[in-house]
């Protein structure tokens, strides 16, 4: 028998994989849970992430409220402005309003802080994780799945929770009809700057969204308000190096891509000491449970439902995936788990919401970057409907509780 055997294997140690591993450790204390990661250390990129009330609800439910409050910022509002004139287009109060409306806050965090929080939970369950395990081959077997790494080591498991990201080997090899991710024609410039290094009038506890023609920028505080995270999305070519999504970038190229912009936005961008470039890829939204589950194999996080960043929900959906899995494990009627049935149920609960969020994210991108009549209609709708247009109750009130 293969000594590298686990009752359940989680592939990938990003936000999705750590969340899934923690939930498995919590609800299946007797089971052996394996966690495989290709990198030589568990880590996340140096960038921020917004967590809507649906995501913070999951973290609160997992007992991570105080850990979140130590590292997060809690912006007072989302402030939409015109990228050229600087005029206000809309406001959505967050802070108390989000708490009153949804019961949990709207938070902004550094990815590494969220990742560390989850990793600590995983380790507390005795799941150490196997690093440097780049899986090349994923094969479905009668007993579950066999994973073979670049160095020829094989891992067997009755159940595979694949959280191996946008370029998922699992999806590529086990969902052979599924189309691969395609470049969207858009690239994201990302950077961070210390609040103290910004002009004083720009040090605000706000998510500022700058809307321009074929571009938008977002900045918000992270690290308990000590840093500002900045993202600028423009239309552009894919960097020459393939696949990997983190590339060096220059301020010069960024300003060239942006053209004329408002002084406040320019000053915020000029303060950022270094830029990274991420080409954005997309896949069509999931359409059925079978897009996420096959027997005892499930695709979670970006492996299953990658999305454009315009709704800031990719990581939130990964957290919801794991939370839903946890709920199903918690409410099962017997100690033994019927994995194909449980994962099928999980897929039925998740595909509609994830597919909707994927489609909505793409639609938001078109609205954010609008030109011509669409831009005119957007600005009018924002002026008339204000915060009702900027809020997303069906999203933030989630995740739906499995009946
Ligand atoms: C510009 C931008 C801004 C965003 N902003 C937000 C936001 O504000 N809020 C939000 O909720 N989401 C946001 N997202 C989305 C979010 O970043 C992703 O949805 C989330 O990080 C996905 O996590 P994951 O664990 O599924 O995938 P990943 O983070 O890609 O993790 C996959 C893991 O699997 C490992 N792996 C991959 N292949 C193998 C293999 N063959 N063998 C072993 N290990 C492997 C990788 O090394 C990695 O550790 C944004 C995305 C972008 C591009």
Q: How far is the CA of 313 from the centre of ligand 1 (A)?
A: 11
Domain boundaries, the chain: 5-181+284-396
Residues belonging to the chain: 403
Alpha helices in 212-338 (DSSP H): 251-258, 263-270, 314-330
Integer Rg of the chain from CA: 21
Predicted pLDDT of residue 197: 97
Predicted pLDDT of residue 242: 55
Q: How far is the CA of 198 from the centre of ligand 1 (A)?
A: 29
**Single pTM value for the model:** 0.97
* Class of domain 5-181+284-396 as given by CATH: alpha beta
Q: How far is the CA of 306 from the centre of ligand 1 (A)?
A: 9
Our CA angle for 102, 106, 110, nearest 5°, is 150
Answer whether 17's CB lies under 8 Å from 9's CB: no
CA distances from 220 to 78, 202, 206, 360, 367 (A): 9, 11, 6, 22, 20
CA-to-CA distance for 111 and 107, rounded, in angstroms?
Answer: 12
Predicted pLDDT of residue 337: 96
Predicted pLDDT of residue 44: 82
Find, among 18, 271, 9, 251, the residue nearest to 141 by Cα: 9
CA-to-CA distance for 189 and 207, rounded, in angstroms?
Answer: 17
CA-to-CA distance for 293 and 161, rounded, in angstroms?
Answer: 9
**Going by CA atoms, what residue is nearest to atom 9 of ligand 1?**
312
CA-to-CA distance for 164 and 244, rounded, in angstroms?
Answer: 13
pLDDT in tens, the chain (403 residues): 788 999 999 999 999 999 999 999 999 999 999 999 999 999 888 799 999 999 999 999 999 999 999 999 999 999 999 999 999 999 999 999 999 999 999 999 999 999 999 999 999 999 999 999 999 999 999 889 999 999 999 999 999 999 999 999 999 999 988 888 999 999 999 999 999 999 999 999 999 999 999 999 999 999 999 999 999 999 998 877 655 667 889 999 999 999 999 999 999 999 999 999 999 999 999 999 999 999 999 999 999 999 999 999 999 999 999 999 999 999 999 999 999 999 999 999 999 999 999 999 999 999 999 999 999 999 998 988 888 888 999 999 999 988 7
Element containing residue 90 per DSSP (H, E): strand 88-93
CA distances from 141 to 22, 102, 133, 222 (A): 25, 44, 20, 44
Q: Ligand 1 pocket: which residues have CB below 6 Å?
A: 11-17, 36-39, 49-50, 133-135, 163-166, 169, 188, 231, 278, 280, 301-303, 309, 312-316, 318
């Amino acid at each position: 028998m293969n000594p590298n055997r686990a009752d359940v294997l989680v592939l990938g140690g990003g936000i999705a994989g750590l969340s899934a591993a923690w939930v498995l450790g919590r609800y299946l204390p007797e089971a052996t849970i394996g966690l495989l990661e290709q990198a030589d250390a568990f880590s996340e990129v140096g960038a921020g992430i917004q967590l809507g009330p649906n995501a913070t609800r999951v973290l609160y439910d997992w007992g991570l409220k105080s850990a979140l409050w130590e590292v997060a910022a809690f912006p007072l509002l989302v402030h939409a402005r015109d990228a050229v004139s600087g005029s206000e287009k809309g406001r959505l109060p967050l802070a108390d309003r989000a708490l009153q409306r949804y019961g949990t806050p709207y938070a902004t965090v550094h990815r590494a802080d969220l990742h560390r929080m989850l990793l600590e939970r995983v380790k507390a369950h005795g799941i150490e994780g196997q690093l440097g395990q780049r899986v090349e081959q994923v094969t479905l077997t009668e007993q579950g799945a066999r994973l073979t790494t670049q160095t020829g080591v094989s891992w067997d498991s009755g159940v595979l929770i694949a959280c191996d990201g946008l370029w998922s080997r699992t999806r590529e090899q086990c969902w052979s009809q599924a189309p691969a991710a395609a470049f969207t024609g858009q690239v994201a410039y990302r950077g961070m700057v210390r609040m103290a290094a910004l002009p004083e009038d720009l040090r605000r506890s706000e998510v500022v969204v700058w809307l321009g023609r074929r571009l938008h920028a977002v900045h918000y505080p992270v690290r308990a308000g000590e840093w500002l995270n900045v993202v600028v999305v423009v239309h552009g070519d894919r960097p020459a190096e393939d696949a990997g999504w983190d590339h060096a970038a220059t301020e010069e190229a960024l300003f060239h891509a942006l053209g004329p912009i408002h002084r406040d936005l320019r000053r915020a961008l000029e303060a950022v000491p270094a830029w990274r470039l991420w080409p954005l890829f997309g896949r069509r939204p999931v359409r059925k449970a079978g897009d996420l589950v096959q027997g005892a194999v499930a695709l979670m996080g970006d492996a299953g439902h990658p999305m454009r960043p315009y709704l800031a929900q990719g990581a939130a959906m990964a957290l919801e995936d794991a939370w839903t899995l946890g709920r199903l494990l918690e409410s099962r009627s017997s100690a033994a788990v019927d994995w194909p049935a449980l994962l099928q149920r999980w897929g039925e609960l998740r595909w509609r919401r994830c597919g909707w969020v994927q489609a909505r994210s793409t639609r938001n991108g078109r609205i954010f970057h609008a030109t011509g009549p669409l831009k005119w209609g957007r600005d009018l709708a924002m002026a008339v409907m204000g915060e009702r247009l900027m809020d997303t109750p069906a999203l933030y009130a989630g995740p739906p509780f499995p009946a």
